[in-house]
Amino acid sequence: MKTLESNRTHNRRELFDQARNRAARAIEETTTDRMNQPGGERASHMRHGGRPSRGESAKALPAPPSAAIIALNRLGFGPRPGQIAEFNALGSTDAQRLQAWVDQQIDPAGIDDATCDTRLANAGYETLNKSLAQLWADHVASSPQWNVRIQPYYEIERATLLRAVWSKRQLLEVLADFWHNHFNVYGPDSWAAPVWSHWDRVVIRGNALGNFRTMLGQVAQHPAMLYYLDNYTSSNAGPNENWARELFELHTLGADHYMGVLRQNQVPTGPDGKPIAYVDDDVFEATRCFTGWTFDFDTGLFEYRGDWHDHFQKTVLGVSIYANQPALSDGNVVLDEVAFHPGTARHISTKLAHRLIGDDPDPAVIDAAAAVFEAEAAAPDQLAQVVRTIVLHPSFLTTWGDKVKRPLEVVASALRAADGRFSFSLAEDDTGTLLWRYDQAGQPLFAWRAPDGFPDHKDDWKSATPRVMTWRILNWLIDVRNHNDVHRLNVLGQTPTAARTSNELADFWINRILGRPMPPAERLEIVEFMAQGHNPDFDLPLDSDEDTRDRLRSMVGLILMSPSFLWR
């Protein structure tokens, strides 16, 4: 019997691997088809500020599904059981439903998130609501052990997964991830980690749907950013341009609005009479404006050192800043100029459209969003209006498959779809194991070392390492049990007793996970794996045969690895 059981398990795994490999090839072939078109080397091209032609072939891309599927997967981390029906109850057409859902989501304070809040409270986190001064006193000034110093980072790492899986404020979670990448800071650093919960709560989440200039000002004065980009040491005796350089190139105008070594008076001006782009001299002059912007190492609070500041005259983006201005004035002028520059409106709108729609968004979306960004520059909900403009554009519902899920989205959407049970507490060993496995997939939370944030192009995430490592995570999620020996993804407990044939089991779990039918070829892979050469309409002995139970769990894992599950 052991030999027979061993053979059955081996055959099941072999079939599973074959089906999984075919799923991988389907994604690879789709991307290759597109990459072979003119201008197809998208990833490197886009990272250097260009954009590919919209004439690029869409061969092999799946047809767009319903608004519920698109919205819950691109503006959230995938549907939980019952949420597609809730979305569809919001109106009689997809456009009405999307508008109603988005209007709810851009007002996260109006959403009852008691279930998520209870889980956050029960997880035992201690640092999520500490002030900046409290964090510094508890996790830096007291010279604590390393695990205490870095505790705020570890807690936000886990709380981020918890919220992605359980929060009803899904758009806020997606945008928090976006802004963490836009204003990227390496979180595990010994100076960022102790204040990470303040950075996440106040700077990122507090402004994700707010005003960009307000957010930019808080970014510029936070110890995490001041340390990460070295401005905390920048002085008139030794200016450091790292912060000013990234402020222009990544955070505001973007590389598309960089004219290199031209002199400032050689840059063309726009209708407003201001330069349309920045040059190296603008970066150098802005660096002088931010000298003396540092933080107090006793308290962690922002500090302006007048004796470190360069008080002489400067010129930034055509604006003359005269000598001996009041404290902080020089730097705030720079922040005003870059925040309100038309190039910034376009750069931020492009990045948001790229994240929320696809790698090649319709230029009309960017035009509309940039116009709103500029027109509402002083509005407290400026960014909410920009996001609403993007996702209510007609192209939002006609674009699908132009993105694939990154590891965070794969893990969170799998746990949401299959109702995975993790507390995400510091004390839960399985959460630590999950994060260890997750980090190997190439997207460790808040741990991208370069200031540009994690890549956001499909081609960056289709390669072997993220695909294989996320598959390994999903395999582990399917099998892992808690201390009571209950599977954390309780597949058997969630399978209706009426579903017993391979066809019925496949269709139930396909609908449960995807919320829509699978393409016939993909579905056939799932059914054949479950049937293993037998009639797919025969009842299977789920109640009595452990091998059949294991195969059902593996079938659910295979659905989670399918191309249909990975599209965004």
Q: Is residue 232 part of a domain?
A: yes
Q: Is residue 474 part of a domain?
A: yes
441 and 315 both lie in a single domain: no
Q: Give the confidence band of 426 by pLDDT, cuts at 50, 70, 90.
A: confident
Q: How many CB atoms lie within 10 A of CB 531?
A: 20
Res 214: pLDDT: 98
Which residues are CB-neighbours of 425 under 8 A, at least 6 positions away?
122, 123, 124, 125, 158, 431
Query: Residue 235 in 3-state DSSP?
Result: strand
pLDDT at residue 272 above 60?
yes
276-325 pLDDT, tens digit each: 999 999 999 999 999 999 999 999 999 999 999 999 999 999 999 999 99
Q: Is residue 160 part of a domain?
A: no
**What is the distance between the alpha carbons of residues 272 and 253, in angstroms, rounded to a whole number?**
16
What would the mean pLDDT of 126-133 be, rounded to a whole number? 98
548 and 515 both lie in a single domain: yes
* DSSP-derived secondary structure letter, 249: I
535 and 442 both lie in a single domain: yes
- Residue 403: CA count within 13 A, CB half-sphere: 24
Res 13: pLDDT: 53
384 and 489 both lie in a single domain: no
- Of the three residues 294, 325, 356, the one that is the final residue of a domain is 325
Res 209: pLDDT: 98
232 and 361 both lie in a single domain: no
What would the mean pLDDT of 105-110 be, rounded to a whole number? 98
pLDDT at residue 450 above 60?
yes
- Residue 266: CA count within 13 A, CB half-sphere: 9
Domain total in the chain: 3
Q: Is residue 303 part of a domain?
A: yes
CA 236 to chain centre: 38
Alpha helices (H) in 313-452, listed in sequence order: 329-339, 342-356, 363-375, 382-391, 395-398, 407-417, 429-439
DSSP code string of 51-101: ---TTS--TTPPPP--HHHHHHHHSSS-PPTTHHHHHHTT-SSHHHHHHHH
High-pLDDT (> 90) share of the chain, %: 86
312 and 410 both lie in a single domain: no
pLDDT at residue 79 above 60?
yes
- pTM, entire model: 0.91
547-565 pLDDT, tens digit each: 999 999 999 999 999 999 9
Q: How many CB atoms lie within 10 A of CB 484?
A: 5
pLDDT at residue 35 above 60?
no
pLDDT at residue 378 above 60?
yes
pLDDT at residue 30 above 70?
no
Residue with tokens 């209870």, as numbered in its chain:
118
Q: Give the confidence band of 38 by pLDDT, cuts at 50, 70, 90.
A: very low
Residue 501: φ, ψ to 5°: -90, 165
pLDDT at residue 32 above 70?
no
Query: How far, in Å, are 83, 126, 133, 194, 552 from residue 151 at the CA level?
Result: 34, 9, 15, 7, 39
**What is the distance between the alpha carbons of residues 201 and 186, in angstroms, rounded to a whole number?**
16
What would the mean pLDDT of 254-263 be, rounded to a whole number? 96
Q: Are strands 293-295 and 314-316 parallel, antiparallel or unpaired?
A: unpaired
Res 17: pLDDT: 57
- Most confident option among 49-58, 168-177, 424-433: 168-177
What's the 3-state SS for 415-465?
Answer: HHHCCCCCCCCCCCHHHHHHHHHHHCCCCCCCCCCCCCCCCCCHHHHCCHH
High-pLDDT (> 70) share of the chain, %: 89
Who has greater pLDDT, 50 or 155? 155
151-162 pLDDT, tens digit each: 999 999 999 999
> In this structure, which amino acid lies at residue 529?
F
Expressed as residue numbers, the domain containing 261 is: 221-247+254-325
296 and 312 both lie in a single domain: yes
Which residues are CB-neighbours of 109 under 8 A, at least 6 positions away?
none
Whole-number average pLDDT of the chain: 91
Q: Is residue 449 part of a domain?
A: yes
CA 301 to chain centre: 28
Least confident of 26-30, 397-401, 445-449: 26-30
Q: Is residue 154 part of a domain?
A: no
pLDDT at residue 41 above 60?
no
319 and 411 both lie in a single domain: no
Q: Give the confidence band of 484 by pLDDT, cuts at 50, 70, 90.
A: confident
- Tokens for 476, please give them: 């582990």
Q: Is residue 336 part of a domain?
A: no
Residue 494: φ, ψ to 5°: -100, -5
Res 25: pLDDT: 53
312 and 377 both lie in a single domain: no
pLDDT at residue 228 above 70?
yes
What would the mean pLDDT of 499-506 be, rounded to a whole number? 98
What is the CA angle 223-250-38, rounded to 5? 155
